[in-house]
Chains A and B, each alone.
Chain A
Amino acid sequence: MNIIVILFPLALGLGLAGLAGFFWCMRTGQYNDLEGSGWRVLQDDDLADDQSPHANATRQPERAL
């Protein structure tokens, strides 16, 4: 039964990590546009563009709030 002492905090910790991830997603506005993000993945604008929009794309969510 001693295994519980390890397993239980582990399970709870994983759950909490999931919850924290969920909160992080909310705070960074990832649920604001559920339609657009799916399509955004398909855009190839991070390949041959000299302006490096890749850096832009990762920075924007924080600013959207």
Chain B
Amino acid sequence: MAAQQDLSVFVRHHDGIDGMELAIDGIRCAGCMHAIEKGLKRDSGILSARVNLALKRVTVEWREGVLRPEAVIERLARLGFKAYPFLPSEQQDSVTREEARLLRYLGVAGFAAMNIMLLSVSVWSGNASDINPVTRDLFHWLSALIALPTAAYAGRPFFESALRALKAGAVNMDVPITLGVVLALGMSVVETWNHAEHAYFDGAVMLLFFLLIGRYLDQMMRRRTRDLAGNLAALKAETATRLERDGTTIVVPIAAVSPGDLVLVQPGERVAIDGLVETGQSEIDQSLVTGETMPMLVAPGGRVHAGTTNLSGALTVRVEAAGSGTLLDEIDRLMAQAVESRSRYVHLSDRAARLYAPLVHATALATLLGWIAFGLPWQQALIIAITVLIITCPCALGLAIPAVQVVAASALFRRKVMLKEGDALERLAEADMVVFDKTGTLTLPEPELLNADSLDVSIVRQAAALAAASRHPLAQAISRAAGNPAPVRNVHEHQGLGLVALVDGSEMRLGSVSFCEAQAEADLVAATFPTTSLIAWRHGDACAVFAIGQRLRPDARACIAALRQLGLGVMILSGDREAAVASVAQELGIATYRAAMRPDEKLLALADLAAGGCKILMVGDGLNDAPALAKAHVSISPVSAAHLAQAAADIVFLGDSLAPVASSILIARKARRLMIQNLWFAVLYNAVAVPIAIAGLATPLVAAAAMSGSSLIVTLNALRAGRTAASAAERTPS
């Protein structure tokens, strides 16, 4: 059906020029980029087309009114690329702006650090020989001239964050950083005024530079995962067929559908909206929403939900907003509740800061008092105390965690796993219990023909040719099993019963068991496949029954075994019937399972487990899993998941295989081990450097060497996260 499309919501208008951004599927290399840009520019209406190869997107601009946005997509389809219009979200924009801001700070800090170091090295070598005190003062003043504005500009992220934390009555890593930088600069100005030998301008600025690198890496990773998640959302962007007042239909993106609109849902189509059925009767497959695999009958007045699939009859649906009492409203409420409990997690770095900051400040204070008690004038004691603060400034700590996160995230990305939250790695490493949803998570999202082995190949092929004429998901499963053959001609579809066609002079039927009078055969098949949907086929006297159901993901068993080996408990919480869940649990050897659970019951079950001290990894894909995904300690969902579920999950994996669940736990554990190693390294560094500082022997040269040395070691250690975890993941049977 070639209905008219309307994509105008995606178009931005600016100065008589229309522009649109599209996510493109299947763009891989420079050749694709060239083909797309050249192919689009050949159209005289198109002003510019620019591919972003890193993001797999293209920005197209044309003179207003010359072109319809749909024409761009058609043209790209003719070039062999599937394109999906893309609406950059507000949140996305703010993340990109934040990243650009950090990069600017980083640039300024880098420039200042290099120039000040240039001056400092001269002073250091001069101090060792015979520098003229006037020249030294000049160099120190020049350093101050560069350092003070730089700190005021590039130090803002730390100052702001420290102020926020102090206002909230908490302490984070930025408090000691801010204190260290401000005191170092203040002391250096006073020292320079007094024509002293040492000034710490270089130390303060270098500290900012290294810390900004850590901050930027963190932000870059967050932006990259958001971008990929945005592309995925665009690729999934669903459309609805809107019924206009004059009876015509138009295909519009979901964003353009408003409550009160009438939407047409053809059999075989995914329902894209929530609403009340106005006309028509059909069966609805709700597996993505409730986990229930048995179809449900709907009639006028019945309610359908986004994410379900319309099986048999055409429906017109009146779109409803998520009013109170609807399933979506219920899920929304549960989500809000669940997210609240999640936000109590404290990051590893903040936990370190809580220990670190008071300790450092206490040490500095003790040094000050100690030296005064020892009989040193208070000015000199203060200088030594500030040196302690500078030396202990958590330069390595600032890099320790983001560097590991970036390396581990790209290792995961190579395995088709996308982190949506940076701290998900830490939480994933802590998980000791995996809770799986069944439908669509342990099993594949699309139904498949299960008894192909016991059927004659020619029968499957004939039935598949007939089935190919229908869009019914069960018929599609049969058609797929025979490799999508060309459909038979002149097929009549009997609403809710099956398909009929004349083949070789006699009638061939495919449909419900009673429609094909195949009760006896059906009973036999039902005995072996008790929880499947049965479809019968009859051609004269020949008769066959197909069992169609959800097949397990290809390596589900290996994945469960790998999880057990890693010492994790495994259980199933499903919304499906008891019998269906029991058979899957048995096949996978999972002893604990619970069936027929509503979303709030899943949430309660998770709360019970968490109360028992379990750190839960939830793996699920349905709308009904969304609150549980948000509630669990950490959550993973497959890319085929419902939109809301994917939004709630911390991690998304691509492809049919379940192996990424086990391998990402391995990588996360490795990453966490490295983070803790790095933190310990920072402690060790302090154990060596702090006594030197307390003794009053630390010079700016010592500070600079210690700072860059420790940062370098921490970064090199972080690089191991990608390499070693990789080989470990490949070694496990998955």
Give Cα A2–Cα B264 distance, bound, in whole angstroms: 84
A11 touches B52 (CB 8 A): no
Q: If A33-B53, A63-B48, A63-B61 touch, does A23 touch B104 (CB 8 Å cutoff)? A: yes
Within 8 A of B (CB), among A1-52: 1, 4, 8, 11-12, 15-16, 18-19, 22-23, 26, 31-36, 39-40, 42-43, 45, 51
Flag whether B604 is at the interface (Cβ < 8 A): no
Flag whether B55 is at the interface (Cβ < 8 A): yes
A22 touches B107 (CB 8 A): yes
B53 touches A26 (CB 8 A): no
Partner of A64, one of B33, B50, B115: B50
Partner of A34, one of B54, B61, B115: B54
A4 touches B138 (CB 8 A): yes
A33 touches B111 (CB 8 A): no
B115 touches A12 (CB 8 A): yes
Residues in A with CB closer than 8 Å to B100 are 26
A60 touches B53 (CB 8 A): no
Q: If A34-B54, A39-B53 touch, does A11 touch B115 (CB 8 Å cutoff)? A: yes
Give Cα A60–Cα B55 distance, bound, in whole angstroms: 17
Within 8 A of A (CB), among B8-65: 29-30, 33-34, 38, 41, 48, 50-55, 59, 61
Q: If A15-B111, A53-B41, A64-B50 touch, does A33 touch B104 (CB 8 Å cutoff)? A: no
Shortest Cβ distance from B194 into chain A, in angstroms?
Answer: 22
Partner of A35, one of B48, B54, B59, B103: B54
A33 touches B52 (CB 8 A): yes
How many A residues, CB 8 Å from partner?
29
Q: 4 shortest A-B CB distances, which residue pairs? A: A39-B30, A36-B53, A33-B52, A35-B53
B48 touches A60 (CB 8 A): yes
Shortest Cβ distance from A3 into chain B, in angstroms?
Answer: 12
Shortest Cβ distance from A9 into chain B, in angstroms?
Answer: 10
Chain B interface size band reads 20 to 34
SS class, residues of chain B in contact with chain A: helix
Give Cα A35–Cα B692 distance, bound, in whole angstroms: 47
Flag whether B114 is at the interface (Cβ < 8 A): yes
Q: If A8-B142, A12-B115 touch, does A33 touch B54 (CB 8 Å cutoff)? A: yes
Residues in A with CB closer than 8 Å to B34 are 39, 43, 45
Give Cα A25–Cα B146 distance, bound, in whole angstroms: 23
Residue pairs across A and B with Cβ atoms less than 8 A apart, 11 shown, are: A15-B111, A26-B103, A31-B103, A33-B54, A39-B53, A43-B30, A43-B34, A45-B34, A45-B38, A63-B61, A64-B59
- In the complex, the chain A residue whose C-beta lies closest to that of B42 is A51
Residues in B with CB closer than 8 Å to A11 are 115, 118
Interface string of A49-65 (1 = CB under 8 A from B): 00101001000100110
Flag whether B451 is at the interface (Cβ < 8 A): no
Flag whether B495 is at the interface (Cβ < 8 A): no
Give Cα A35–Cα B111 distance, bound, in whole angstroms: 26
Residues in B with CB closer than 8 Å to A1 are 132, 135
Give Cα A62–Cα B132 distance, bound, in whole angstroms: 50
Flag whether B108 is at the interface (Cβ < 8 A): yes
Shortest Cβ distance from A21 into chain B, in angstroms?
Answer: 10
Residues in B with CB closer than 8 Å to A43 are 30, 34
Residues in A with CB closer than 8 Å to B29 are 39
Shortest Cβ distance from A18 into chain B, in angstroms?
Answer: 7
- In the complex, the chain A residue whose C-beta lies closest to that of B30 is A39
B135 touches A36 (CB 8 A): no
Residues in A with CB closer than 8 Å to B38 are 45
Within 8 A of A (CB), among B237-276: none
Give Cα A45–Cα B30 distance, bound, in whole angstroms: 13
